[in-house]
Each structure stands twice: as structure tokens, then as C-alpha cells.
């Protein structure tokens, strides 16, 4: 597609539930990134995919968070047993893998109640 | 961890004035980028400056980079109400083309 698409745009879930957030990157972009942004803060790195593999998952806060990119295109960020502290905007970005700028999606605003 | 640190955090100016914001970082970088964010959602890439460049222009934007001081500035000239947004600097110090963002500058341009 023309841009990075993230769905849903908003998600409200109850504490303890499981959620999946989807990212559809720009066609042909091999690198895909997930970031999390809390109110008043800059985005914080979660995980980076180069192709199908997670090249760097050092930003995932704990084992409740997991992400996949099985065919090297669409990626899903999965959060188990959600906690109120997981509430944030989850941003996905893709790039050609060069030092050029990323293209970000509009994000998914997750609210855990 | 957050690499960039923007200063000042919030800026309110009249339309037509220039807006300047600064960013400092701690480790060596290959490039530094500036992004704009409206309404807390997706970020838009504005400009990238490489470590061997000192100044770069794009339209009404001017970015400088001083690697000896580990700092960068973003200047928006002749500001418009549509420039109202948060502006973030980001460095590639994390490796893997991974970006480390600062906390951002909120800029409000009053018509």
C-alpha cells in the first residue's frame, strides 16, 4: 500500500485480556519496527524485524509481549495478560533498511481498563 | 533508553515567527533525524542529517548538527498555524537502524 497501515486504530480491553495489534508495512520494505509511546514521551523501541526474523527484540518489556512477521510483510504484536501500564500508543514503522527515514503508521491507541 | 533530549519542551509563537528547538545526544551517531507528530499519532519524517554534514535545508526547515557538542537544532522559518505539532529528534545510536527518540518539543503557532 501507499503507507503503513495499523489496525485497529483504537482498542479498549479489560485487564488480563489478550490483544493483537496489526501492522501492514509499505510493500517492499524489508525492515519493520514496533515502538510504544506513552503520553508526553517519545516513542520507545520494542522490536525490529529484518524480513521474517526478529533481528532485535531487546525493547520488549517482558515475556507478555511477543511479535511475529511470518511472511516478511504484515506483523502482529501480541500482548498477553494485559495490564493498565500497557496503555499507550503502539506505533509501527517500516523502511528499506537503509539509514533513510522511517515511515510510521498512525498507531493503535491501546487502553487497558 | 531515550537518546535525544530536546530543549525547550514547549514553545508558543506567533504565525510568521521562526521556531528553534535543540536536541542533544550522548553517543556517536551515523545520522540524526527530526520527526513531526500531530495529535499524538503517527510521526512524519522531516529531515535526516548525516554525521559528516553540518547543515541541511528542506523547504522552511533548517537543521544543523554539531558532532563535537553532540547537538542538533531544528529551525522552522515563517511558521504557520499548520506547524503546530510535537517535534522529535531521533538518533541511530541504538544500531540496527533502530532509532532512539527524545521526549519531544510541543510547538504551538498562534494565528
Q: Do the beta carbons of residue A48 and residue A7 sit within 8 Å? A: no
Q: Spell out which residues of chain B touch residue A98, defining contact as CB-CB under 8 Å.
A: 97
pLDDT-derived band at B17 (thresholds 50, 70, 90) equals very high
pLDDT greater than 80 at residue A99:
no
Q: Does residue A46 sit at the B interface (CB-CB below 8 Å)?
A: no
Distance in Å, alpha carbon of A113 to nearest chain B alpha carbon = 20
pLDDT-derived band at B3 (thresholds 50, 70, 90) equals very low
Mean pLDDT, chain A, integer: 93
Closest-CA residue in chain A for B4? A42
pLDDT-derived band at B7 (thresholds 50, 70, 90) equals low
pLDDT greater than 90 at residue B6:
no
**CB contacts < 8 A (A, B):** 71
Grid coordinates representing B5 are 533530549
- DSSP secondary structure string, B10-71? EEEEETTS-EEEEEE-SS--SEEEEEEESTTS-EEEEEEEETT-SEEEETTEEEEEETTTTE
Of B30, B94, B102, the CB nearest to A42: B102
Grid coordinates representing B79 are 511558521
Alpha-carbon distance of B69 to A69, in angstroms, equals: 39
pLDDT greater than 50 at residue B1:
no
Q: Spell out which residues of chain B touch residue A97, defining contact as CB-CB under 8 Å.
A: 97
pLDDT digits (tens, 9 = 90+) for A28-83: 999 999 999 998 889 999 999 998 988 899 999 999 999 999 999 999 999 999 99
Burial B64-90 (b: 16+ CB within 10 A, else e): bbeeeebbbbbebeebeeebbbbbbbb
Q: Does residue B56 sit at the A interface (CB-CB below 8 Å)?
A: no
Alpha-carbon distance of A20 to A102, in angstroms, equals: 23
pLDDT greater than 70 at residue A102:
yes
Q: Does residue B21 sit at the A interface (CB-CB below 8 Å)?
A: no
Amino acid at each position: 500500500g501507499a503507507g503503513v497501515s495499523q489496525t485497529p486504530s483504537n482498542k479498549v480491553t479489560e485487564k488480563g485480556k489478550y490483544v493483537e495489534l496489526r501492522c501492514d508495512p509499505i510493500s517492499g520494505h524489508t525492515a519493520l519496527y514496533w515502538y510504544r509511546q506513552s503520553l508526553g514521551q517519545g516513542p520507545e523501541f520494542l522490536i525490529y524485524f529484518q524480513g521474517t526474523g526478529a533481528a532485535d527484540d531487546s525493547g520488549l518489556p517482558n515475556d507478555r509481549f511477543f511479535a511475529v512477521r511470518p511472511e516478511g510483510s504484515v506483523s502482529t504484536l501480541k500482548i498477553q495478560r494485559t495490564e493498565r501500564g500497557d496503555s499507550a500508543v503502539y506505533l509501527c514503522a517500516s523502511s528499506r533498511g537503509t539509514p533513510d527515514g522511517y515511515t510510521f503508521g498512525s498507531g493503535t491507541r491501546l487502553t487497558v481498563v | 533508553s531515550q537518546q535525544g533530549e530536546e530543549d525547550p519542551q514547549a514553545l508558543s509563537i506567533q504565525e510568521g515567527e521562526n521556531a528553534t528547538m535543540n536536541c542533544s545526544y550522548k553517543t556517536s551517531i551515523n545520522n540524526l533525524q527530526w520527526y513531526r507528530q500531530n495529535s499524538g499519532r503517527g510521526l512524519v519524517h522531516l529531515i535526516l542529517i548525516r554525521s559528516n554534514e553540518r547543515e541541511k535545508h528542506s523547504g522552511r526547515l533548517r537543521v544543523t548538527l554539531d558532532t563535537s557538542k553532540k547537538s542538533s537544532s531544528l529551525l522552522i522559518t515563517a511558521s504557520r498555524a499548520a506547524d503546530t505539532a510535537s517535534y522529535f529528534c531521533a538518533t541511530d545510536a541504538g544500531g540496527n537502524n533502530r532509532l532512539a527518540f527524545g521526549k519531544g518539543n510541543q510547538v504551538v503557532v498562534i494565528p
